[in-house]
Structure 1
Amino acid sequence: MSFTLTMLSFMLSLITNLIMLTGFISVVYWLQERLDLQRDTNKTKTQTLEIGAITFFVLLLFGESWVNTYLGPNAFGLHWTFLNMIIVTMFLSVVKMPNVIIAFIQAIILFVYLFIYATTFAYILVPLSFIFVAELFTLHRKSHVIFARRWLTYPALALLAATVILLIYYTGTYKLDSLFWLRQLGALTSLSIAGVEYTRIMDGVRKKDLVTAEKASHDSLTNLKNMSTFENDLEHAYQQYVTSSTKYYLFEIDIDYFKNINDTYGHLAGNAILVSVAKSLTDLSNHLAADAYRLGGEEFGILVFCKTDDAVVSHQISEQILNNIRSLNVGPIDQNIHLTVSLGEGVPQRKHYSFQDVYEEADRNLYKAKRSGRNRAILSDALLS
């Protein structure tokens, strides 16, 4: 093949691989965005799909490399761009995927490739193999540090590339002229810069999307989850109850005489009290591994999953909520303010038809508490009977 045709074939294959690489990175980030927005119960499936997609892509690259090397060098040009793609893909997968399984899979695939296609054996392959594995797991463990700094990212990628190139070289597969190696280093450099910088761009897009999703799902004043998220979570909780009998308590909370506070001290003081109550509910929710919500105005909610319906546990949680609010220090506004809340509880029951029925029960019990004098909790009849 003439030099002109070789270079033309080389450039076309390089452009094709750049398109493949950026497309692959986009797919992985799409999966990661799905992971960001999913609940814990759904994340395992998406993580498995993500690992499967990366593994499939690496296997595809190894297959293309084999075809390019052994079946079509005259037709396609022996450019080694697929192996360059493998190096960049391995690096990005290990540093950007938190799952250590990816590092194991990458190592296994490369060693299988070396074992099958090596034409000679050199003893230097043994220490090189240990170095390769050590690099992979170091990249995994230090991924956040390495990828956060360009002056660490590119040297780390260069070290991994050098190790893989030496491993391939000492198998006897590639021993060609200097122009061949010049092309490979040029292609590797191009793919490395494109892959790393495109990944950084996608990181920025992902962070912006997370901020947007956070704003859409959380109350801007208290930073608690908002009403829309509350309804979605409550519906999900009810479906878990129906399908797997997963039980939960729903507490609806209302600040007593909050309108009087707003009218007397102003909305800024009212907002400060809302933030204080939200902080108290957040701390309790973190302790209980529960979720806290602002349902609107001075109303809040807490969703607590439990193994069994237990009136004693339910009473303890409700009393803790009441006592925590009573003990809040709002003295800077006025020492005469004694903050209290009313609370109503709902629990899922077989007589319920939807998640709304649980919410309505909590709402009814909340207004019973308010009509009974406030500063108290009314628990679900299902627990008290």
Structure 2
Amino acid sequence: MAWSLWLVPPIITSIFFVLGVITLYWAIFSWITAHVKASNRPIDVKKVQIAVGTLCAVGSVFALQLLVRDSHLSWTFTTFQLLLLIFVAYFLQLRIPYWVIFIASVGFMFLNGNVNQPLSWAYTVLFVLFYVVSYQQSVHLWRRPFLRYLSIAVIFAAVLWGIVCLRFHLDWRTYAEELGNYTILVVLMYGYFQIQDRDRRIKERLFQSANWDALTHVQNFAAYDRAVGHYFRHSANHQTRLAMIMFDIDHFKQVNDTYGHLAGDEVLKQVAAQVTAVLKKSDPKAVLYRTGGEEFNILLPDYDLTMSTAVAQRVFEGVRDLRITYNDVTIRVTISVGVSELREMDSNPLDFYKRVDANLYRSKKNGRKQITVE
């Protein structure tokens, strides 16, 4: 259509259409995930991917088809549809139930007014099968992934384009041109996403190193500093509660001196894992941070002093019951804990931190292995 009306080769329009949808997807996905992360709320990335990817793919296919559905050129976006299927199934690995794709395809047939044509039903069944096979090969680490990807993409496209040519009485020269253009785009798409994937992995590693403690795999002081600032502002603006628990591992230097620093590392890892498990049972909104050597903080949004003390008691008991085995030696540790909640007198997060830290200091000064609440 683009070539006959505007003298633009079909492969060029296909490239722009596909890149446009992919760019739209990444823009929406990045905006949603950044917005949720900024508010420190839990997010299921896979669910966001499925929702945004499905919306962009289905919306763009139906929107473009509305432009040509009543003309003899309604086949012109076939390559675009197949590339979007590969984008959703292979590169995003979105596990959409096959019956959802089938229903959407039947709706597409109703849109085009060809629901009573056997070739359209054959196309629909193969289209759904193409999705299933593409998804399966994307989630399995089989050998020679590019050759598998290209073979499946071309074989299905050859059959599907053959059905389109039969249905619209297209000549085989058109078939060869469209299939050739499609193959070029399939190869380019693979290269594009290889670059994107490498870039994404680099960004993820940078994000992990900037926000997560490499030893204990809990969030670090930088992440704590951002989170407490966010919660402090939110509490000031919306009059919500905020509590904090701070704890130290008692006599941690003695563990290092007696058993070695590797034993100390094992203690830190297992204490962090135990506390994380306790918090997960209590409330997923409670987040553990390693803010110093053996010092940890827990932020509890929407908690008052009574509620946070109950959480501190569960954390205290969880660590007390922990048995850490290292080189056939069982190490048992305890923690000293300080607890407080945000007050109107706190002019900044540091005031809040100092009060919790003072409570922790009292626990240590008074013999350790206890909780101080104020």
TM-score normalised by length of structure 2: 0.74
1-structure distance, mates of 2:152, 2:264: 53
Q: 2:61 aligns with which of 58, 82, 87?
A: 58
1:89 aligns with 2:95: no
2-structure distance, mates of 1:104, 1:336: 54
**Matching of residues 286-365 of structure 1 within 5 Å:** 286-288=280-282, 289=284, 290-304=286-300, 309=304, 311=306, 314-329=308-323, 332=326, 339-349=333-343, 352-365=346-359
> Considering only aligned residues, what root-mean-square deviation do their CA atoms show, in Å?
4.4
1-structure distance, mates of 2:10, 2:310: 67
Q: C-alpha displacement at 1:350, in angstroms?
A: 5.3
* Code of the aligned partner of 1:62: Q
**Matching of residues 69-88 of structure 1 within 5 Å:** 70=73, 80=76, 82-88=77-83
Unaligned runs of 5+ in 1: 71-77
1:371 aligns with 2:353: no
2-structure distance, mates of 1:321, 1:125: 61
1:166–1:269 distance in 2 versus 1, CA, 3 Å: same
Equivalent pair of 2:14/2:79 in contact (CA under 8 Å): no
Deviations 1:5-51 (A, max 9, x none): 98x957x4313433543454355345545566635467799766655
Deviations 1:128-174 (A, max 9, x none): 435544654x369747526974465445534653575466456x4x3
Q: 2:196 aligns with which of 190, 202, 209?
A: 202
* Code of the aligned partner of 2:210: A
Equivalent pair of 2:287/2:299 in contact (CA under 8 Å): yes
Q: C-alpha displacement at 1:300, in angstroms?
A: 0.6
Q: C-alpha displacement at 1:63, in angstroms?
A: 5.4
Paired position in structure 1 for 2:226: 232
Paired position in structure 2 for 1:14: 11
Unaligned runs of 5+ in 2: none
SS at match of 1:125: helix
2-structure distance, mates of 1:235, 1:253: 20
Q: C-alpha displacement at 1:342, in angstroms?
A: 1.1
1-structure distance, mates of 2:140, 2:64: 25
Q: C-alpha displacement at 1:207, in angstroms?
A: 2.4
2-structure distance, mates of 1:99, 1:244: 39
Determine which structure has greater relative contact order: mean sequence separation of CA pairs < 8 Å that are 6+ residues apart, divided by chain length: 1
2-structure distance, mates of 1:369, 1:120: 75
TM-score normalised by length of structure 1: 0.72
Identity %: 22
Q: C-alpha displacement at 1:356, in angstroms?
A: 4.3
* Code of the aligned partner of 1:58: V
1:62–1:200 distance in 2 versus 1, CA, 3 Å: farther
1:274 aligns with 2:271: no
Q: C-alpha displacement at 1:345, in angstroms?
A: 1.3
Q: C-alpha displacement at 1:343, in angstroms?
A: 0.7
1:123 aligns with 2:126: no
SS at match of 1:225: coil
